[in-house]
Amino acid sequence: MTVRRTHTLFTAAVAGALGLLAFGVGARAEITGSVKLNGKAPESKELDMSGVKECKDQHADPVYEESVVVGEKGDLANVIVALKPDDPGALGGEVPSDPAVLDQKGCQYFPHVIAMMVGQKMMVKNDDPFIHNVHSLAQQNPAFNVQQPNKDAGKEVESPKTKETFKVKCEVHPWMGAWVAVFDHPFFAVSGEDGKFTIKGNPPDGEYPVVAWHEKYGSKEGKVTVKDGKGTVDFTFDAGSAKADEPANANVKLASELKAASGESTMSCCEMPAAKTAVAAETPAK
């Protein structure tokens, strides 16, 4: 099935970030591959933004949730693929100097999945001219809950201290969600809309275990042999292995309700609910 998109921003700036999220000074090794979905993919659900005019007005066409983004040939996007070494320190590699960036555009997170390294800087942005908040549900790392009332070119949050995979949500707009995977080495990537990925870095030649993780289909393990700086590994997920959907949170308060309750006029969109919940995920690389 063909996945419809609402932002050209995704295919340009974000697609590059999704395709190549591993770094190394003087990198020469490349581990490439693709990820497929075997079986019928679920129909993408249309996001209901009708209750928040500021969000709905950002989109001329319907917007779809991104828990499963798959092409007509079964190409599966948003899969994190990473080496799973027994001793990550023995592989070398440096912490990326560029920050991992999570943006908010049209009441959606971009990218939907981020892979980064322990100690790497992380920035959260807001391209919308109204309030969002970025709430990390990390349990092993310092959690953050950053409110951005208006456009924000980038706010730095505390760098992760240990490997973990966690969800990020916006308590203002309950349909918004993203995933962050933190590794203790720099040899990872995220598959693009064509299902392909490239892990760049400089691991020594040899055989390595590899893990692929998807938010709906869980983890799969494989092996890759790196020889003369090159290696290839592919993954196939079974459509029947999808996890059940999480219950939706419909707790959205419009600006008119906020103003009526408090008399304030500083919020242009919504009020964050007080309730906070935690979501843990299996870390894709152990």
CATH 2.60.40.420 for the 8-271 domain, yes or no: yes
For the stretch 173-187, pLDDT in tens is: 999 999 999 999 999
- pLDDT value of position 254: 38
Residue 44 has pLDDT above 50, yes or no: yes
For range 114-135, the mean pLDDT: 96
What is the residue-averaged pLDDT of the chain? 81
- Model confidence, pTM: 0.78
- pLDDT value of position 203: 79
161-174 burial code (b ≥16 CB/10 A, e <16): eebbbbbbbbbbbb
Is the sign of the CA dihedral 57, 59, 61, 65 positive or negative?
negative
Residue 262 has pLDDT above 80, yes or no: no
- pLDDT value of position 16: 38
- pLDDT value of position 270: 52
Pick 91 or 8 by higher pLDDT.
Answer: 91
SS3 track for the chain: CCCCCCCHHHHHHHHHHHHCCCCCCCCCEEEEEEEEEECCCCCCCECCCCCCHHHHCCCCCCCECCCCCECCCCEECCCEEEECCCCHHHHCCCCCCCCEEEEEECCEEECCEEEEECCCCEEEEECCCCCEEEEECCCCCCCCEEEECCCEEEEEECCCCCCEEEEEECCCCCCCEEEEEEECCCCEEECCCCCEEEEEECCCCEEEEEEEEECCCEEEEEEEEEECCEEECCEEEEHHHCCCCCCCCCCCEEHHHHHHHHCCCCCCCEECCCCCCCCECCCCCC
Residue 278 has pLDDT above 50, yes or no: no
Pick 127 or 26 by higher pLDDT.
Answer: 127
